[in-house]
Structures are given as structure tokens and as C-alpha cells.
């Protein structure tokens, strides 16, 4: 995005204020670190100081927990691990994949494009996405993943329907009105991609950018 | 014991600060799998050291032990 165009195009409105989620943990971490350093050097802590030395680091972790819950929705966070880097690069390219079409046309928020489609719909979608995120970290640490990477289970098309279901253009499509197709989609026996719509991501991206095997 | 607890607490704080300064997959892994266990261990060690120092004993127990 050309920054010379103006501040309106620099990012979402929430990005222009003070980033409290980043500031608060640091503000609490400084006295916490000072107390812990004091305890490390002295080898003892008075009960009141000890209580603070317990509570402040817990507060830091609570605030950082909120930070990571929020910032892990960002595309840049998803793309920071080697497995996902080619996929994030592919959605930013003009390659005709469903994800690239949505991203390029601004049909999903640019900052949270991965999260919007992969978190599922509603609060349980968010909970599921966070649990999946922990498993992704474990698999990354253990190196327990295989190319091409695959989605675990069928894609939750409620993520698609959350935006498309009430759109007149979506409802007007003859295939979408077919009772058999509707039944198959709701039962997750078929997905939007494959038969009718292009694949969400190109094969090359799913194989770590090394080409489909 | 207190020194060990404080050292582990500092490790946890360092991991948290790295996460704040650069939120990405690597720092989140460090925060979750190094920092959080280090903080948990620090709290357990500190709690045990305080318990051994008699912090969680009631006044009645202390009086009884002092009398015997």
C-alpha cells in the first residue's frame, strides 16, 4: 500500500491508537524483573516483596496471553513459521486461488485473512482455532508435520456462509439452490472448493513452496 | 531456593518481553513452552521455600511447636 496516498489507507482504524496490549505488559514486566533481580542477588525476599514478585509476573503472563490471543490472528503471525510462509505468500499473489481472490479483492480483512476463514464461525470457532494453534506450535517444535500439509477434517463452510449466505448474488446461483447440493454441503460431504470453486491454496504452497509431490 | 525461583522467573519475564517486542511464531513458542513452564516452576519453588520457612503454618501450630 502506497503510504503517500494518506493515513486512511495505512491500516485499520484500531491501529492508529496507543498499542496498549504491547505497552501494558512492558510496564508491568519492568518492576517484576527488578524484584526478581533483587531476589536473585540477595537470595531472599521479604514476604510483601515476595508477594509482589509472584503477582507481577503472573500479571505479565496474563497480559501477554491476551496479546498473543489477539496478535496470533494476524497474517504476519501465521506466515512467520516456515510451513506457512509459502501459503501467506501465495494469498498475496495473483494466482487465481480462492484465498488469493478473497485477499486481493478485499473480501476478507487483510490483517486477519487466515483467521477469518480458518477459525470457523462463532465463539466455538475461535476456541477451536486457538486449540489448533497450540497444536500447530507443538508440531512445529517437534517437527511433526508432513508435506503437503492438509486441513484436519473437512473445512468448516460456516466460515463461507457467514458472509455469503444472505448475499442475493450467492442465493441466485442455481447450484446453490439445489436441495441435493445443499444437503451435501451442510453434511460436509462436499466442499465449496474442488468441484465448483478453485482450490483455496495452490498445491505448490502446500508443499512448502517446493512444488507438488 | 529463592535464587533459583527468581532466576526462573527472570527467564519467564525475558520470554514475555521478547513476545511483546516481536510477536511471531518463534516468540510465541518460547513464551508458551519455555516461559510459562519456567514461571510455573518458579512459583512452585517459591511456594515450597515459603512453606518450609513456615509461612503457611497457623499461629496455634507455631505456638505449640515453640512450646514443645
Pair (A41, A82) in one structural domain: no
**Structural domain of A49:** 20-71
Pair (A136, A62) in one structural domain: no
- The total domain count for chain A is 2
ipTM of the complex: 0.86
Would an 8 Å CB–CB cutoff place A140 in contact with chain B? yes
Pair (A31, A131) in one structural domain: no
Quick one: pLDDT band at residue A213, thresholds 50, 70, 90? very low
The answer to whether residue A15 sits within a structural domain is: no
Q: Which of B7, B9, B55 sits opposite A57 (nearest CB)?
A: B9
CA distance B5 to chain A (A): 8
Question: Nine-digit cell at A72?
Answer: 496470533
pLDDT at A123: 81
Of A27, A58, A60, A71, which to mutate for an interface test with B (greatest number of B Cβ within 10 Å)?
Answer: A60
Pair (A94, A195) in one structural domain: yes
Q: Which residues from A are below 8 Å from B28, CB to CB?
A: 68, 72, 77, 137
Question: Residue A132's domain is classified under what CATH number?
Answer: 1.10.3820
Task: Determine, for residues B20 and A58 on separate chains, whether the beta-carbon distance falls below 8 Å.
Answer: no
Q: What is the DSSP string of A64-120?
A: HHHHHHHHTTSHHHHTTSTTTHHHHHHHTS-S--HHHHHHHTTSS-GGGHHHHHHS-
The answer to whether residue A132 sits within a structural domain is: yes
Dihedral angle of Cα A65, B22, A72, A137, to the nearest 10 degrees = -90
The answer to whether residue A8 sits within a structural domain is: no
The model's pTM: 0.82
CA distance B50 to chain A (A): 9
- Could you read off the pLDDT of A161-184 as tens digits, one per residue? 888 999 999 999 999 999 999 999
- Could you read off the pLDDT of A74-121 as tens digits, one per residue? 999 999 988 889 999 999 998 889 999 999 999 998 888 999 888 877
Residue A128 CB-density burial (10 A; 0-12 exposed, 13-18 middle, 19+ buried): middle
Amino acid at each position: 500500500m502506497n503510504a503517500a496516498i494518506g493515513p486512511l489507507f495505512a491500516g485499520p482504524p484500531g491501529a492508529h491508537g496507543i498499542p496498549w496490549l504491547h505497552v501494558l505488559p512492558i510496564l508491568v514486566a519492568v518492576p517484576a524483573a527488578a524484584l526478581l533481580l533483587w531476589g536473585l542477588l540477595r537470595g531472599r525476599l521479604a514476604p510483601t516483596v515476595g508477594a509482589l514478585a509472584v503477582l507481577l509476573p503472573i500479571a505479565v503472563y496474563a497480559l501477554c496471553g491476551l496479546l498473543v490471543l489477539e496478535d496470533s490472528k494476524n497474517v504476519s503471525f501465521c506466515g512467520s513459521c516456515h510451513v506457512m510462509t509459502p501459503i501467506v505468500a501465495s494469498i498475496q499473489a495473483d494466482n487465481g486461488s480462492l484465498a488469493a481472490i478473497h485477499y486481493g479483492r478485499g473480501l476478507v480483512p487483510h490483517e486477519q485473512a487466515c483467521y477469518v476463514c480458518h477459525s470457523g464461525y462463532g465463539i466455538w470457532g475461535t476456541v477451536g482455532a486457538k486449540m489448533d494453534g497450540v497444536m500447530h506450535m507443538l508440531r512445529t517444535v517437534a517437527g511433526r508435520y508432513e508435506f503437503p500439509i492438509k486441513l484436519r477434517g473437512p473445512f468448516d463452510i460456516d466460515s463461507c456462509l457467514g458472509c455469503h449466505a444472505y448475499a442475493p448474488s450467492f442465493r441466485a446461483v442455481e447450484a446453490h439452490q439445489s436441495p441435493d447440493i445443499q444437503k451435501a454441503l451442510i453434511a460436509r460431504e462436499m466442499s465449496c472448493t474442488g468441484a465448483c470453486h478453485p482450490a483455496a491454496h495452490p498445491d505448490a504452497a502446500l508443499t512448502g513452496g517446493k512444488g507438488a509431490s | 531456593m529463592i535464587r533459583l525461583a527468581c532466576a526462573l522467573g527472570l527467564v519467564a519475564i525475558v520470554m514475555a518481553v521478547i513476545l511483546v517486542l516481536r510477536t511471531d511464531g518463534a516468540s510465541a513458542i518460547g513464551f508458551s513452552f519455555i516461559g510459562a513452564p519456567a514461571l510455573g516452576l518458579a512459583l512452585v519453588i517459591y511456594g515450597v521455600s515459603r512453606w518450609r520457612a513456615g509461612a503457611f503454618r497457623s499461629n496455634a501450630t507455631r505456638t505449640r511447636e515453640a512450646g514443645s
